[in-house]
Amino acid sequence: MTEVFARRLKPGRLLPWLCLAVLLLSCAGGLCVAAEERSTQEYQVKAVFLFNFTQFVDWPPESFSGVDQPIVIGVLGDDPFGTYLDETVRGEKVNDRPLIIRRFRYGDDVGACHVLFISQSETSRLDQIIAGLHGRSILTVSDIPAFGRRGGMIRFVTENSRVKLRINADAAKAAGLTLSSKLLRIADIVSAGTE
């Protein structure tokens, strides 16, 4: 963005433009910082949401090998949460199960997990990833556009700086997951074909 402005400046009338440029730059810089900050805040909310999903979703018993086995939240692709996700789940327990964050580089690597956040970096491979997860009781969450239509379960939609949920309940049901009605009532419900 900074480059766009710079390209339009002419050398002869540099000073006033420079002044303007400096002003604009500072503004733009502020904007960039604001955007950056907003993005960070957004992912902080999303991290809390990821954690909160564990409280509104029931997994089939076979998803856990033991009574006190942890609930695993996986992040596939580039991790947009930084340390925040880890901080969010640290020390928390849901149904007496501790929470663990696991990160996966590729879709094929996705191991045992209960919630899987698919990063925007995986947008192009999404179909394979969804196909690869078929038959596993994993709650798929992403902020990739048309995530639901493409077979994902919960999509984060940011509207007016607010993170909203769009849920493909059929997909979750197909995966053997039970979503709480409280979760469903605050979300927009979509199906695989309609988003």
Partner 1 sequence: MITFRDMPLRRKLIASILLTSVVVMLLMCGAFFAYELFAMRRTTVRQVSTLGEITATNLTGALAFKDPSDAQEILAALKAEHYVAAAAVYDEDGGIFASYPQSVAKDALPSSPLAAGYRFEESYLDGFQPIMERERQLGTLYLKFDTGVVMREWLWSSLWIASAAIAFVFIVAYLLSRALQKQIARPILDLGVTAQRISDRQDFSIRAAKHGQDEIGQLSDSFNEMLAGIEDRELALRAANDALRAENVERHQAQQQLARAQKMEAVGQLTGGLAHDFNNILGAIIGNLDIARENIAPESAASGYCDAALDAALSAAELVKRLLAFSRRQPLHPQATDLVEVVAGVKPLLERTLGEQVHITTASETAGWLAMADPVQIESAILNLAINARDAMPGGGDLRIELKSVTVDAIYASAAEDLKIADYVLLSISDNGTGMPPEIAARAFDPFFTTKAPGAGSGLGLSMVIGTVKQLGGTAKIYSEVGIGTTVQLYLPRALDAQPTRSSLQASEAAIGGNERILLVEDNAQIRGVSAGALGSLGYDVIVAENADEALRLIDDGLTFDLLFTDVVMSGRLNGIALARELRRRNADIHILLTSGFSSPISAGGDLGELEAAFMTKPYRKADLARRIRALLDEDKR
List the 71-76 sheet strands across, edge first.
Answer: 93-94, 97-104, 71-76, 115-118, 139-142, 154-159, 162-168, 188-190
* Planar angle of CA 95, 40, 137, nearest 5 degrees: 35
Q: Which stretch binds partner 1 (CB under 8 A): 23-31, 44-52, 59-67, 138-146?
A: 44-52
Residue 93: CB minimum distance to partner 1, A: 8
Subset of 46-85 contacting partner 1 (CB under 8 A): 48-49, 52, 55-56
Cα R_g (the chain), whole angstroms = 21
Subset of 89-118 contacting partner 1 (CB under 8 A): 92-95
Q: Measured from the CB atom, is 62 or 96 closer to partner 1? A: 96
d(CA 46, CA 143): 9
Residue 181: CB minimum distance to partner 1, A: 8
Binding of partner 1 by 162 (CB under 8 A): yes
Q: Which stretch binds partner 1 (CB under 8 A): 1-9, 33-41, 131-139, 183-191?
A: 183-191
Assigned token pair, 167: 């849920």
Which DSSP state fits 126? H
Binds partner 1 by CB under 8 A, chosen from 90, 105, 164, 173? 164
Measured CA to CA in angstroms, residue 106 lies from 33, 112, 138 at distances of 30, 14, 16
- Positions in the binding site for partner 1 (CB under 8 A): 45, 48-49, 52, 55-56, 92-95, 162-165, 180, 182-183, 185-187
